[in-house]
A and B are shown apart, each in its own frame.
Chain A
Amino acid sequence: MSEGKTFKIAVGPVHPALKEPVQLNCEIEGEQVKHVDIELSQVHRSIEWIGTRRNPVQVVFLAEKICGICNICHTLCFCEAVESIAGIEVPARAHYIRTIAAELERIHSHILWAGVAAHELGFDSVMHYTWKLREKVLDTTEYLTGNRIGKAIVTIGGTKRDIEEKQFGKIREACNYYRQNFSRLRDIFLKDPIIKARARDIGILRRDDALSLCAVGPTARASGVKKDVRQDEAYAAYPDLDVKAITPKELLGEIRGDVYDRIAVRLLEVLQSVELIEKCLKQMPEGKIAYESKLAKVLSDVKQLKGEAIGRHEAPRGEVFHYLKMVGEETPYSWKVRAPTYNNILSWIPMLKGAQIADIPIVAASIDPCMSCTNRAAIADGKELGNEKLHRLSVEKTRSLKKGPGSERGNCN
């Protein structure tokens, strides 16, 4: 191939290296990625649309279905928004239970991600090993909430279940388990020469790029941006816990903003979550777990709300943001969900520039993308751009081409 000649390859939308549909249009020169363009919107579930046809009590659990891995973050954000519109005060104990659930979720998400990252690098034994460690947090979640994944514990004005004194033992046991295994995970991921070769100085996101592209969560923190909603705008029980945003400096002594740093930040955050849970158990106050224990009463309390509010939470992948507007009807007038992947996706462009084709999977996975949570329906003229309309547009275009000049070729390309 002659010098300087580039060609395009499309990775995705359905691709074995990407777990969810997204398309990376890469411009390649030899083995090197010169430029990347990202095409989103390959998966829609119309969750927001469904949400505007349900009452807030129902939407709480609809929000939980936005993401399987981080479902507390969506229910929490939505509940925060409803609570602030309705002026509901959440009891202190409920805040602690919410925090414990949210931190368990972070442990789960980060360990799951570490397994996926190992798989992308071709280390399937490491993947199975990490996922073996993940079982403990899932068992604990099941023990506390009644299911492994769908926790259904956060509700408007508090939580559905209490965490009782007698359950503390199992939670502490899980905390100790992760504390003990942390050094093992650290050695496996950070001391392995091959993982180091594949992750060090690969997919670099510089600090100023992270800032200008509004990256969030571990992606931003691995580049040295100290932002964390738990620290900056503490909510739930976090004001009592004194959370500090974690950067790779604490473990590695320097910040390079590469894939390796992002692994280190997530591993450190597992340890941080363990500490937060232990603190919560120590400080948990007595009291009610919800402002109102009768669901029927909650249902009538949120029936005719008026106003708008937001909810924010530091999810495992970064900041989640919900906007809610109620206009005195039973159902929300508007509900907007912004998942952290939305912010992080543009970081792929600087990360992938100059990378090799073989690095695309691990760099793409390093921001822990979640496309189904990110994509939203396309709305044109206030109406959904449905199948029929799209088809009509297409027919119209063909017709106009037929009429216009050059139509004999049939195709406008």
Chain B
Amino acid sequence: MTAMLRELLKQLFKRPFTNKFPSKRIPESVNGFLEKAEKGKAKINPAIPVPEGFRGRIEYYREKCIGCQLCTKVCPADAIVFLPKEKKVEYHLFRCSFCGQCVEICPVKALEFTKEFLLADYKKD
């Protein structure tokens, strides 16, 4: 018997390795399912928690920002645009590569990582 056949037979008695996220069965539309879950109509099968220090979606605290533009100078993806009139910046999630340079350089901690990772969408806003 080959080594792989042995592994496959063993697998028959094991639980699947994959964590079934977000639902146990494939929903017709994942986004539709998530919307339903938000309204409490469906139950999400929980994801494996992300570790400490995970680099997820970036939260921008507009009121803290002093408009120093340092973040725009280190962003490799041009994901942060300066708004000269308001002396604030605009953060574009869809361009961000989650490198964390802006979070590191911001002198007033107006940019912070969150643990959010479900970010794919059909719309850019």
B1-43 vs A, Cβ < 8 Å mask (1 yes, 0 no): 0111001100000000100000000000000000000000000
In the bound complex, residues from chain A placing their C-beta under 8 Å from that of B97 are: 61, 64-65, 150
Quick check: is B51 within 8 A (CB to CB) of the other chain? yes
- Of the 9-residue stretches B57-65, B81-89, B98-106, which lies at the interface with chain A? B98-106
Q: A61: which of B2, B4, B73, B76 is its contact (CB, 8 Å)?
A: B76
Supposing A60-B76, A295-B101, A296-B70 touch, asked if A146 and B4 sit within 8 A by C-beta, the answer is: no
Chain B interface size band reads 20 to 34
Task: Point out the residue from A54, A55, A150, A191 that lies within 8 Å of B3, measured CB to CB.
Answer: A191
> Nearest chain A CB to B58's CB is how many angstroms away?
12
B85-125 vs A, Cβ < 8 Å mask (1 yes, 0 no)? 00000000000011111001100000001000000000000
Q: Does A334 contact B (CB under 8 A)?
A: no
Is B66 close to A, CB under 8 A? no
B44 at interface by CB-CB < 8 Å: no
- Residues 125-158 of A, flagged 1 when their CB comes within 8 A of B and 0 if not, give 1100100100100000011001100101000000
**In the assembly, what is the distance between CA of A58 and CA of B97, in Å?**
12
- Bound CA–CA A220/B61 (angstroms): 52
Docked-complex contact A192 and B105, CB < 8 angstroms: no
Say whether, besides A61-B99, A161-B53, A295 and B104 are in contact (CB < 8 Å). Answer: yes
Q: A141 vs B31: C-alpha distance in the bound complex, in angstroms? A: 28
Q: Which residues of B contact A204 (CB under 8 A)?
A: none
Are A184 and B105 within 8 A (Cβ)? no
In whole angstroms, how far apart are the Cα atoms of A107 and B19 in the complex? 23
**A152 pairs with B8, CB closer than 8 A:** no
Among B17, B73, B99, the residue within 8 A (CB) of A64 is B99
Chain B residues near A55 (CB-CB < 8 A): 73
Most buried by A among B8, B73, B75: B73
Contact A132 B50 (CB under 8 A): no
User: A188 to B97, alpha carbons, bound, how many Å?
Assistant: 37
Residue of A at shortest CB range from B51? A143
Contact B99 A296 (CB under 8 A): no
Q: Is the CB of A58 within 8 A of B4?
A: no
- B residues near A299, Cβ cutoff 8 Å: 73-74, 105
Given A62-B76, A142-B50, A188-B7: A295 touches B105 (CB 8 Å cut-off): yes
In the bound complex, do residue B54 and residue A132 qualify as a contact, i.e. CB atoms below 8 Å apart? no
Residues in chain A near residue B70, CB distance under 8 A: 296
Assess the A142–B51 pair: CB atoms within 8 A.
yes
With CB as the reference atom, state the residue of chain A lying closest to B103: A295
Contact indicator A160/B100 (Cβ below 8 Å): yes
Query: CB < 8 Å: which of A64, A142, A191 contacts B54?
Result: A142
Within the complex, what minimum Cβ distance (angstroms) separates A93 from chain B? 18
* A187 CB–B CB distance under 8 Å: yes
Asked if B55 and A192 sit within 8 Å, CB to CB, the answer is no
Complex CA distance for A147 and B3, rounded to whole angstroms: 33
Q: Which residue of A55, A60, A61, A188 has the most chain B CB atoms within 10 A of its CB atom?
A: A61
Once the chains bind, are B104 and A160 in contact (CB under 8 Å)? yes
How far apart sit A187 and B99, CA to CA, in the bound complex (Å)?
39
B residues less than 8 Å from A150 (CB atoms): 97-99
Bound Cα distance A369, B88 (Å): 44
In the complex, how many angstroms separate the beta carbon of B107 from the nearest chain A beta carbon? 8
- B98, A152: Cβ atoms closer than 8 Å: yes
Q: A65-B97, A147-B54 are in contact. Are A58 and B7 (CB under 8 A)?
A: no
Min Cβ gap B111→A in Å is 13
Cβ of A198 to closest chain B Cβ, rounded Å: 14
Identify which of B4, B98, B104, B105 contacts A123 (C-beta below 8 A). B4
User: Could you say which residues of chain A place their CB within 8 Å of the CB of B55?
Assistant: 146-147, 152
Given known A-B contacts A147-B54, A160-B100, A295-B105, A184 and B7 have beta carbons under 8 A apart: yes
Mind listing 16 A-B residue pairs with CB under 8 Å? Answer: A58-B73, A58-B101, A61-B97, A65-B97, A126-B4, A135-B17, A142-B51, A146-B53, A146-B100, A147-B54, A150-B97, A160-B100, A188-B4, A192-B2, A295-B105, A299-B105
The 9 closest A-B pairs by CB, nearest first: A187-B3, A146-B55, A61-B99, A58-B76, A61-B76, A295-B105, A62-B76, A143-B51, A188-B3
A residues in contact (CB < 8 Å) with B: 54-55, 57-62, 64-65, 123, 125-126, 129, 132, 135, 142-143, 146-147, 150, 152, 160-161, 184, 187-188, 191-193, 295-296, 299
B residues whose Cβ falls under 8 Å from a Cβ of A: 2-4, 7-8, 17, 50-51, 53-55, 70, 73-77, 97-101, 104-105, 113
